[in-house]
Each structure stands twice: as C-alpha cells, then as structure tokens.
Structure 1
Amino acid sequence: MKSAVETLNPTRVRLTVEVPFEELKDSLDAAYKKINQQVTVKGFRKGKIPARVIDQRFGRGAVLEEAVNDALPKFYTEAVNEGELNVLGQPEVDIKELKDGELLSFTAEVDIRPEIEIPDYSGIEVTVDAVEVTDEDVDKSVEQLRDRFATTNVVERAAAAGDVVSIDLEAKVDGEVLPDGVANDVSYTIGSGELLDGIDEAVIGLEAGGEATFTSELKGGAAEGKPAEVTVKVLTVSARELPELDDDFAQTASEFDTLDELKADSRKRLENMKQYDQATQAQERVLEELLKLAEVPIPEKLLADEINTRKHNLEHHQLGQMGLDLAKYLEIQGKTEEEFEEETKDQAVKGIKTQFILDELVNKEKLNVSQEELTEHLMRRAQSSGMSPDQFAQAVVEGGQVPMLVGEVARGKALAVVVESAKVVDTNGETVDLEDDEDEAAEAAEGAETVEAATPADDASAADGEQGDEAKAGKTDA
C-alpha cells in the first residue's frame, strides 16, 4: 500500500491511498463468505456456493463493493498511522479507481488537530473578588435557617403579605372555564411569586370566604400564554410565626448549643463557600487570559458538529426537562435567534480552543492521570449528576466515556499548572494563595465547554468525542 498526505489547511488533510489488488484477498474471501450465508442458489447447499456462481448470479461488482467496504477502514487506519496524523472525527472517502485484479485507489479528507504553540503563560495576572463575610451575610444566613423552621397558624383576619393562604382557583378564557383551569385547596405564600401574576394584589385584604377576580397571562396548560380571567376564593388565612433567635433555636435547628456557636459556624461556612468561588473565579479568569495568548485554528466540521451538539443538548435535555421549547427560552432570555446562534458559536469555539490548548499542555508537561485521581473525579461528577457513584460509573463505562473523564482530569491538571504560575490578587490588592485543587480546575476547563447549564455525563460533545472510532471510514459505492 502507498499513501500520501496533502495539507489542505492547518486543520484538514487529504490522504491519497493506492492498494495493490492482492492486498484485498482477505476482504474478497470475507465478502464471498458473507454473501454465501445470505443467499440461496438452487442446486447448492447454503454456504457452499462457488465464487464463480456468485459472480454470475449476483455480479462481481456486488462482491467488490462488499470487499472494499470491509477493507477501507484498515487501509485508512494504516495511512493515518503512516502519516502520523492526529485525526478528528470521520473521514470523507472517495473511491477514485477500482480495477478488478489490479488496483484500488481512494482519497480520504479528514480534520486533524492543528499544531499549537503553547505561549509563555508565566506573566498572566488576574484579579478576583476578595473573600469578605460581613455580619449582614451571617444574619441573612441565620434568617434563612430560621425561615425553614417557621410555623403557620390559622388567623381570623384579612390576608397580608407573607401570609399563607389556602385558595381555590378558576380560570376562564373567552368566558369558558378551561378543562385544566380549576385547582382546589392550593397553598400559597403571598409574595412568593410562585403562582400567577396579579394574585398577590387580588388576595391581600381578603378574609376566609372572600373572592376576587383578576386578569393574568397563563403560565402553563393548554392555554399557556393567553390572558385569562381568574377567580380566586380564599379558604383560610394563616400567619407565619418565626422562632425566637436564641439558644433554644440553635439547639433545635443545629448541633450547636448556643446561638453564638451557630453564627460562628455560619460565618465559617460562608467563608469556605466564598473561598471556593474565589478559586473557581481565578481558574476561569486565568483560562480566559491563556486563550487570548494562543492562536488556535478551528476545524470547520468539528465546529459545526460541536454547535449542533450544544443546540441538541439544550433543546432536548435541558429545556425539555423544564417544559420549554427554544422559542419560549429565547423569549425568557430576551434574545433573538441570531444572538443565540452567535452566542452558541462563541461558546463552541471557546470549548474547542480550551480542549486543544490544555491537551497540548498535558503532552508538553507529560501529565498523567492516576486511578485515585480518576476515581475522585468520578465521585464528584456522580454527586453533581444526582446519581450514585456505582450508577454513574456504570453509565460512563457503558457509554464508552472513560477516556472522556480521563481527559477532563488531565486538562484540569494542565490548567492547575497555569494557575500556579499566574499572579492572582483580590480586589483589595492582596495576593491570593490558591490551593492546588485540580478537580476545581477540571470544572473550570469543562465549564468553558458547556451551554448555559451543563447536563451531567450526557452525550459527549463533539470536542470530547473527537478521538472516536476513526478507523470506520463508512460505506462507499464501488
């Protein structure tokens, strides 16, 4: 076999391959055997039909086509290895010549990883938010805990903001009660914004047994988005009572004996959260600066695949779970379709650039992933996905996504190397000493490749799946 590589651009090549016909012998034998098992010829036992009879009955061309389809992946892979190419995705194969008994010639165009020059990143400087926890922050945290322990008691007075009311609702459109427009004994906290627009104004001032009618745009159901005439009847009014902020509350709501101990723990928790946010912010901003320094050509087909993958995941995973379609999502976000397309493209470009640069850093720094690091990362991903570690691990193995997870950890380690060399200061001008948390760095690197909100361990993105079964050149017509 002979092969030659022609560079079409920095991210795409054309392979030209010539194969002497004798090298197709194994594939020809396999083709005759396969056809033998699929067809029946009178006078011959199944599987015992001579090759000349198959040629006469079904045509030599059918045999050649089967043989070529069987052989192409092997010859393509040999050519890739011979050219020492780092290919991305599937090739576009074109049979140029097939002379029975003489020669097979084909071309294969395929995207490749571009050669990337890793820039000097030692001078990167970023500023992050300072870790500051105020007394007001602590008080707010304690108040949120206090709110969870509130009790309700029915009162004989008009409803006011903050009260919990039990109500009946009836919605009409064009004077007709909707099939799904009646709801009874609904519990609603006035001011929570969890029901229809206008309901707060309607129920405030009503006592038990009182009714009011208001107009509101329906948020769901068969008449979603239409203005409806809604009648609300108050069944009961209950006042929420918050527990006293004292040592008894601390003992009821926590493992602490005093309110001061509870507040001290709340402060510590808030500090830890802000330190984590600060570290994540530093990693994201260092990554942004690194991306600005490097020139990275983007393969067009890979970019198109990545954009389509992101749109598919958004529409069929994230929005589907929320009961939204793309049009409604764009309306809520206040974006046009053109703005959404441009934003998705920018995110895809950033994701591909991130992966290319960090993968190159992994190779340059000779970073390896240990079993312990992989297991720890898998546990964190399982926790964020809401699955048990065993369930998540099984899904990863069955989906062939172990290499993807290994790549995430390795890229996290590469980003950690860059962060470690960067100068990070907070908004107070103080130098920030970041702990070397490679899993947080992996999340920062991975976050650059997600749409709006990531879906846990779902379809591998086009950028993640680029090292797929590149040997499968696919079916061709001989």
Structure 2
Amino acid sequence: MEVLLKNTSESEIEILFELSWEEFLPYCEKACLKISNDLKVPGFRQGKIPMEIVIREVGDEKVFLNAAELAINKEYEKFVSEKKLEKEIEVMGLPKIEILKLASKNPFSFKIKTAIFPKFDLPDYKKIALQFPKKEISATPEEIEEALARIKKSRTEFEELETPIKEGDFLEIEYNSPQIKEDTCFKDGFFLGQGGFIAGFEENLIGMKKNEEKEFNLQDKGKQIFFKVKVHKIQKANIPELNDDFAKEFGCVNLVAFKQVIEREIKKEKEKFEIQKIQTEILKKIIEQTKIHISELLLEAKKEQMMRELKQRVENNLKISFEKYLEEIKKSKDDLKKTLINEAKKRIQTFLILKKIGEQESITVERAEIEPLVNEFLKNFLTDEKKKNIDIDALREYYRNIIYTEKVLQKILD
C-alpha cells in the first residue's frame, strides 16, 4: 500500500492512500460476508454465499462501496495510531473523505483531509497567572440575611383561602392583554403588592374571589391597556419564624450555628465564582498572546456543534421549534452560523491551549476519577430504558475532558 502525506496548512493535512487490488480484495471478501448475512439465495446458507454469487445478486457497486468503507476505516485508523505513537501528528475532528478510484481488479485509492493539532508556542502562562492574585473573600451580613430570607421562603407553607383577595395574599392568576401580546394567556403567581405589574393592576385584584373573572383598563406611558384576569387560587403564606427550632431542622444546634453554616457556604460559593473569574481572565490573556492557526474543517465542525446545542436549548427552554425561533430573530441558519465564528474560534483556542499546557505539566486523568461521575449520572439522570442506548465510552470521555480541564486550570492558578 502507498501512503502520501501532504501538509496543506499549519493545521490541516491531506493523505492519499492507494491499495493494490490484491490488498483491497480481502476487504471485498469481508464486505461480501457482511452482505450475505442478510441475503437469501436458493441453494446457499446465509453468511456462506460465495463472493461471485453475492456480486451477481446485489451488484459489484454495493460490494465495492461496502469494501471501501471497511478499508478506509481500517487503514485511516492504522495511520492515525502509528502517527500518534510516533508523536508526529495528532489528528482532530472528523475527516473529509473522497474516493478517487474504485473498480474491479484495479487499485483502490482515496484521499482524506483532516485537521491536526497545530504547532504553536505558549506564552509564560505562570507569569500571566501572577497578574491575577486571589482576593480575600467574605460573606457580608446582608448576604447572610438574604440567604436566610430565601430559606424561609422555601419552607413557607400555603393555606388555600375562600375569602376575597387582600394585601399580602399569595395569588395564582391568568391574564391576557392584546396590547402586551395578542392571543396569549399569561400565568403568574405572586404576593399581592409584590408582583411588579404596572401601576393599578394589583389594586384591581383586591376584593376578587377564587374563580372570579374581571376586565379593566389601565393607562401606561400614555397608552390604554386592556386586561382580562381570572383568579385561580388565593392563599395565605405561613412563613416560619427564624429561631433555634428552625435551625434544628437543618441539623444545627441553634440559630447562631445555622448562620455560621450559611456564612461558610456563601463564602465557598463566592470563592468558587472568584476562581472562575480569574481563570477566565488568565485564559483571555493567554489567548491574546498565543498565535494559533485554526483549521477551517475544525472551525466548521465547531460551528455545527454550537448550532445543534442552540437548537436543543431553544426547543427545551423556549418550547418552540428552531424554525420558529429563526423567524422571530429574523435570521437564516447560515446568517446565525456566521455570528458564531468568534465564539467558535475562542472555544477551539481554549481547548488547544489547555491541552498543550496539560501535556507540558504532565496532567493525567485516571479511570478511578471518572467512574464515580459516570455512575452518578447513570443513577440520577437516566431511566433503565435510556441507559441501554447510551454510549458509555463517549460519556467517560466527556467527564475525562471536564476533569482534565479543571486540573489544568488549577495547575495554572497554583
């Protein structure tokens, strides 16, 4: 077999493979065996049909295309493994494949274009990290009180009322207004007096009863706005008192100890946020001082991935189709994809830089570090039915990348 390697740029290579007919023939035989497993020919058992009979039945094009796929996968994987072992080239992303010649009793040739890990010099990232010292973090009394208020609210019990609405009641309503949005019914839950509606809206609800409907007009910024409201629930909020008994529900001996726990948790969260902020600033500086040639193949693949992620977020969070979303933002898919170029480049640069720093610092991730995260995901987020379809190796690689990135970022800070 002949293999010709050519660098088309600093970040892409082109590989020309040519197999003689004798080298390609075993792949044809394997393809015939695979096809014959599902082929029914009188006088022959499935999986035991001679190659010439398979070709007669399905045609040589199908056999050769199946054989080509087997040959490309095998020979390209072998090439990549050898080059990685020799530390000559590290390919990235999915390759672009082009079959050049495929015919009976002739050499089989194909061409592969792929992105590679580009060569680049890193700046002194440890020196850059020193420009961003960690700040002393503390929890303010106001933050502690706000946290306590949120916890109290989460433990509030609601008692449904049949009495007319009054100030301080918790309401569940639905309303519509053609001036706000045509043919749309809004649902909301709020404490009367704290709903944040336009002036006069909440005042109009006082005295209404459960299941009652009401129509009224309000003035806002010189415009008349019509509202139609229906009350679904009127509730009294029984907010717990902050005392030692309340603290004991959380495993603390008294309220003072509970506040100390909250203070530590706030401090921990703020420290985590501060570290993430510093890491982002350090990476930004490293990117600014690093010149990397990014493969167009890799860039296009990253934009496609980001489009898929955006589509999923739109459908899951906004509950509308991606086509409807594009209509609302008045952009085509191609227009939207163009806006992702800078972010796609930044993500690729970040990945390449962190990978190279990790290699220089001999960062490794052990299987024992990955498995607990994989097991937790499988246990908490997937049903038994969904577990059957999951790609465990891909899940392990996902968590390996997360752990690797965290270790590299921590190494830079250290």
Q: Normalising by the residue count of structure 2, what TM-score does the alignment of the two structures yield?
A: 0.74
| 2:93 partner amino acid | G
Partner of 1:2: 2
Deviations 1:239-287 (A, max 9, x none): 6465554445545x54345433333332222222222222232223222
Partner of 1:367: 363
Query: How has the CA–CA distance of structure 1 residues 392 and 131 changed in structure 2, closer, same or farther, with 3 Å as cutoff?
Result: farther
Displacement of 1:230 after TM fit?
0.9
Local SS of the residue matching 2:97 = strand
Structure 1 residue corresponding to 2:166, chosen from 138, 159, 172: 159
Q: Does residue 321 of structure 2 align to residue 315 of structure 1?
A: no
**Inter-partner Cα distance in structure 2 for 1:230 and 1:212:** 6
Partner of 1:231: 229
Local SS of the residue matching 2:273 = helix
**Inter-partner Cα distance in structure 2 for 1:395 and 1:60:** 34
**Inter-partner Cα distance in structure 1 for 2:372 and 2:360:** 24
Displacement of 1:116 after TM fit?
3.0
Local SS of the residue matching 2:95 = strand
Partner of 1:95: 99
Local SS of the residue matching 2:126 = coil
Q: Does residue 280 of structure 2 align to residue 278 of structure 1?
A: no
**Inter-partner Cα distance in structure 2 for 1:51 and 1:378:** 45
Query: How has the CA–CA distance of structure 1 residues 215 and 89 changed in structure 2, closer, same or farther, with 3 Å as cutoff?
Result: farther
- Asked whether the equivalents of residues 367 and 414 of structure 1 are also in contact (C-alpha less than 8 Å), the reply is yes
**Inter-partner Cα distance in structure 2 for 1:114 and 1:104:** 30
Count residues in correspondence.
395
Displacement of 1:3 after TM fit?
0.9
- Asked whether the equivalents of residues 162 and 209 of structure 2 are also in contact (C-alpha less than 8 Å), the reply is no
**Inter-partner Cα distance in structure 1 for 2:68 and 2:157:** 76
**Inter-partner Cα distance in structure 1 for 2:40 and 2:152:** 80
**Inter-partner Cα distance in structure 1 for 2:100 and 2:253:** 83
**Inter-partner Cα distance in structure 2 for 1:49 and 1:243:** 79
Structure 2 residue corresponding to 1:190, chosen from 182, 189, 192: 192
Query: How has the CA–CA distance of structure 1 residues 278 and 331 changed in structure 2, closer, same or farther, with 3 Å as cutoff?
Result: farther
Query: How has the CA–CA distance of structure 1 residues 96 and 202 changed in structure 2, closer, same or farther, with 3 Å as cutoff?
Result: same
**Inter-partner Cα distance in structure 1 for 2:165 and 2:62:** 85
Partner of 2:222: none
Structure 2 residue corresponding to 1:406, chosen from 397, 400, 405: 400
Local SS of the residue matching 1:262 = helix
What residue ranges of structure 2 are gaps of 5+ in the alignment? Answer: 219-224
Which protein has greater RCO, CA pairs closer than 8 Å, 6+ apart? 1
Deviations 1:366-419 (A, max 9, x none): 22222332245547x749x95389999988653632123223222322222212
Partner of 1:15: 15
Q: Which has the larger displacement, 67-76 or 196-205? A: 196-205
Local SS of the residue matching 1:122 = helix
Partner of 1:136: 142
Local SS of the residue matching 2:166 = coil
**Inter-partner Cα distance in structure 1 for 2:387 and 2:58:** 48
The 5 Å alignment of 1:22-61 reads: 22-34=22-34, 45=44
Local SS of the residue matching 1:13 = strand
Q: Does residue 132 of structure 2 align to residue 117 of structure 1?
A: no
| 2:26 partner amino acid | D
**Inter-partner Cα distance in structure 2 for 1:37 and 1:255:** 64
Query: How has the CA–CA distance of structure 1 residues 208 and 93 changed in structure 2, closer, same or farther, with 3 Å as cutoff?
Result: closer
Displacement of 1:166 after TM fit?
6.4
**Inter-partner Cα distance in structure 2 for 1:358 and 1:230:** 56
The 5 Å alignment of 1:173-322 reads: 188-191=190-193, 193=195, 200-206=201-207, 208=209, 212-214=214-216, 229-232=227-230, 240=237, 242-251=239-248, 254-317=250-313, 319-322=315-318
What residue ranges of structure 1 are gaps of 5+ in the alignment? Answer: 217-226, 421-478
Query: How has the CA–CA distance of structure 1 residues 53 and 127 changed in structure 2, closer, same or farther, with 3 Å as cutoff?
Result: closer
Partner of 1:70: 70
**Inter-partner Cα distance in structure 2 for 1:344 and 1:386:** 33
| 1:24 partner amino acid | F
| 2:25 partner amino acid | K
**Inter-partner Cα distance in structure 2 for 1:100 and 1:156:** 88
Local SS of the residue matching 1:260 = helix
**Inter-partner Cα distance in structure 2 for 1:298 and 1:327:** 30
**Inter-partner Cα distance in structure 2 for 1:105 and 1:201:** 76
**Inter-partner Cα distance in structure 2 for 1:159 and 1:34:** 76
**Inter-partner Cα distance in structure 2 for 1:51 and 1:233:** 76
**Inter-partner Cα distance in structure 1 for 2:170 and 2:29:** 79
- Asked whether the equivalents of residues 202 and 214 of structure 1 are also in contact (C-alpha less than 8 Å), the reply is no
Task: Indicate the percent of aligned positions where both proteins have the same amino acid.
Answer: 19
Query: How has the CA–CA distance of structure 1 residues 290 and 214 changed in structure 2, closer, same or farther, with 3 Å as cutoff?
Result: farther
Query: How has the CA–CA distance of structure 1 residues 144 and 330 changed in structure 2, closer, same or farther, with 3 Å as cutoff?
Result: farther
CA RMSD in angstroms comes to 4.6
Q: Normalising by the residue count of structure 1, what TM-score does the alignment of the two structures yield?
A: 0.66
**Inter-partner Cα distance in structure 1 for 2:215 and 2:367:** 64
Local SS of the residue matching 2:98 = strand
